[in-house]
């Protein structure tokens, strides 16, 4: 899991999975044996299995991406896309929240439970109750 990645509550990550820098995985989304490119957004309830989502693309809420042809034809994120910066904004919010509470650093909070969230140690990934069986 790359830096500034946000995985929302209830998302399922089933490994092996790679989620690159700045990506966002929405509530209830399921990712299995896939790569999510840098800056990509997987909207809530989406299913992504066995593909590589190119950088800067999004998967619409509730949709299924099960072939590489589908992944390659995903829409690109542009300035008009409402969720364009969701991952970065979520990470920035939690960094500020942890800093304001005086409860340690955002780094400590973001990586305090790697076994429970499937995160690697280090970096600024935020996982809010996501389940994972990722294998590194």
Q: Closest Cα to residue 37, out of 69, 81, 74, 82?
A: 74
For residue 101, the model assigns a pLDDT of 75
Over residues 86-94, the mean pLDDT reads 76
pLDDT, tens digit, 9 for 90 and up, residues 7-51: 999 999 998 999 999 999 999 999 999 999 999 999 999 999 999
User: Which fold would CATH assign to domain 6-132?
Assistant: UDP N-Acetylglucosamine Acyltransferase; domain 1 (2.160.10)
Q: How many whole angstroms separate alpha carbon 78 and alpha carbon 86?
A: 13
pLDDT, tens digit, 9 for 90 and up, residues 117-136: 343 434 455 555 554 444 43
Residue 3 backbone dihedrals phi, psi, to 5 degrees: -65, 150
Q: Does the pLDDT of residue 113 top 60, yes or no?
A: no
Place 115 in a pLDDT band, splitting at 50, 70 and 90: very low
CA angle, 40 then 44 then 49, to 5°: 65
Q: Quick one: tokens of 41? A: 């957004």
CB atoms within 10 A of CB 105: 11
pLDDT, tens digit, 9 for 90 and up, residues 49-88: 999 999 999 999 999 999 999 999 999 999 888 887 777 7
Domain range annotation of the chain? 6-132
Please state whether the predicted TM-score (pTM) of the whole model is above 0.85. Answer: no
Phi/psi zone of residue 39: left (φ > 0), alpha (ψ -120 to 50 degrees), beta? left
């Amino acid at each position: 899991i790359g830096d500034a990645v946000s995985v929302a509550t209830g998302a399922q990550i089933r490994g092996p999975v790679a989620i690159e820098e700045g990506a966002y995985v929405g509530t209830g989304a399921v990712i299995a044996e896939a790569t999510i490119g840098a800056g990509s957004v997987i909207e809530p309830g989406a299913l992504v299995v066995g593909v590589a989502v190119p950088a800067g693309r999004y998967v619409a809420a509730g949709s299924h991406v099960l072939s590489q042809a589908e992944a390659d034809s995903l829409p690109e994120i542009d300035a008009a896309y409402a969720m364009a910066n969701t991952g970065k904004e979520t990470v920035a919010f939690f960094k500020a929240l942890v800093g304001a509470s005086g409860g340690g650093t955002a780094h400590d909070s973001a990586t305090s439970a790697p076994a429970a969230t499937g995160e690697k140690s280090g970096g600024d990934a935020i996982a809010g109750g996501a389940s994972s069986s990722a294998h590194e």
